[in-house]
Amino acid sequence: MFEDNRSILLGALVLAVFLLRKFLDFRRAAASVTNLPGFRTLFSDRFVWFPYRVNGISPGVQSEINLYRKYQDFEEGGWDIMAGDVIGARARFPKPLGPYKVLLTFGPNLVASEGDEWKRQRKLVAPAFSEKNNKLVWDETVRIIYDLFDNVWGTQDTVIVDNITDLTVPITLLVIGVAGFGRRITWNEDAVAPEGHNITFKDALNVVSRNLFLQVLFPHWLLKWGTSSMRRFYASYKELGQYMQEIIDARRSGEVKEERHDLFSSLLDANEGLIESGEKLSDIGLMGNVFIFMVAGYETSAHTLAYAFILLALYPDEQEKLYQAIKTTLSDDRTPEYHEFSSFAYSMAVFNETLRLFPPVITIPKQSAEDTSFTTTNAAGEKRTIPVPKGTYVTVHTPGLHNNPKYWVDPDAFKPERFLTDYPRDAFLPFSGGPRGCIGRGFSETESIAALTVIISRYRVEVRDEPQFAGETFEQRKARLLRSKLSLTLLYTMGPGHDFYDHHHHHHSLEDLPQDDIP
């Protein structure tokens, strides 16, 4: 009994000391920023996972809260700091590599590097994202969509899509296959795995892209002997690596002589040109970058397109404006060409407004390299200097920035037109900004604008009416369709109950359709 009591007392003492140290650290940290008002907790989401936001205790699932609270925390605190003060000062606020170390599981890469290593990676990788690659992305995205129309949807007037990601994810994967790896895949491809492989390239790419979080969470030995889904991912990951090595070997042996503009081929060519300088990457380094591009390309494009279609279905007037703008350029129903990209300004406006409301990068982490400070102004015009001690973690809060009423009129509204005129570019960071801005931005924009333009030119997107949701208000429907959950790099995967159908335009304007077809 005495031993038990002593153990309990010792445990309580250890807990008390721990909590006291946390509290003192908390007070010290608050004092270092002159007790700036705002939401504070003893524990960060890195220390303990707790799904609920409790003032003083836990921030909850911070990424989800950041997305849905948007500017609310800054409004309540009364102060905010312009992101350009951080993004534009790369030397003062470098990228902390700690949160990105998990990405090294894919091999050395551009995202998980800084300083001289980042410069080396960037020098190699940048040429791959060329105008020729953008044209390839556009042409192949258009081809993939028409293949969908002709060989999957066929002559159907109405196409039911139970979850919009069932449409956008395959589009993205097929584009990555050809524009990322130089492997053209069709929607109805039913190929047998080639000699030396147990899984087709298409299936390996599909499984790996959808489950890359497993590579981050679990060691290889556990994936190899784990659940059936873990084993399937492990096998697909190994097969995809083998396919990539075969592409490398074929390129080096001269078996592939034609000019190629897919990312992997361009990366290989650029890498071979660095032999003499000693900056050449290993094959693992090459694959590491390609895997990271695959993660970014899959998530950013697929889910931004999904949100765009949801928003267009919720706001049919905006969808009509987009349709009419597209038809101004494609009045004869011909195939859109890459050189006409700038003509689809309204498609880009819809894409950008979607990114503003649902940014793929929810927080941009930085760390102060020196003792510095910010000067900020509140709504009353009062100025305040905020000290930032060396080593302080600073986060650019993208949803807050994208919904700040100082820079955006009626920020909660879906208004693509705001991007047709001059807009506050410093307050729009869907792909981060500055030298560390997303290198694949052009790839994502080109793919997304092509897909959005071609689909809306022929189909109208509507929300399918379902009896169980008959009494819901517009705001309830909007909340249901846009409900999301945490994904590997951002908060993006659609929840249940998002039923869509696309109604064929038959090459007529919406006014030409029967009235009862309009929601």
458-512 residue pLDDT tens? 999 999 888 888 889 999 999 888 887 655 444 333 333 333 444 444 333 322 2
Residue tagged 């060519």 (tokens): 269
Residue type, 111: V
Tokens of 408: 């955006």
CA distance linking residue 285 with residue 454, whole number of Å: 36
Confidence of residue 126 (pLDDT cuts 50, 70, 90): confident
d(CA 88, CA 158): 48
The total of other beta-carbon atoms located within 10 Å of residue 89's CB is: 15
Q: Whole-prediction pTM value? A: 0.81
User: CB burial class (10 A; 0-12, 13-18, 19+) of residue 1?
Assistant: exposed
Tens digits of per-residue pLDDT, 372-396? Answer: 888 887 777 788 888 888 888 888 8
CATH code, residues 98-331+465-517:
1.10.630.10
Residues pairing with 502 in the sheet: 159, 461
Which residues have C-beta within 8 Å of that of residue 326, sequence separation ≥ 6? 344, 346, 347, 453, 456, 457
Beta bridge partners of 258: none
Query: What's the pLDDT at 517?
Result: 27
- pLDDT class for 201, splitting at 50, 70, 90? confident
User: From CA 302, how far away is CA 354, in angstroms rounded?
Assistant: 12
Q: In this structure, are strands 393-397 and 383-388 parallel, antiparallel, or unpaired?
A: unpaired
Taking a C-beta distance cutoff of 8 angstroms, is the pair 395, 376 a contact?
Answer: no
Domain segments of the chain: what residues? 1-32, 98-331+465-517
Residue 247 CB-half CA count within 13 A? 26
Amino acid at the residue 59: P
Q: Alpha-carbon distance 320 to 178, whole Å?
A: 32
* Residue 161 marked in a binding site: no
What is the DSSP code string of 182-217?
S----TT--PPPPTT-SS-HHHHHHHHHHTTHHHHH
Can you tell me whether residue 193 is helix, strand or coil?
A: coil
pLDDT at 150: 92
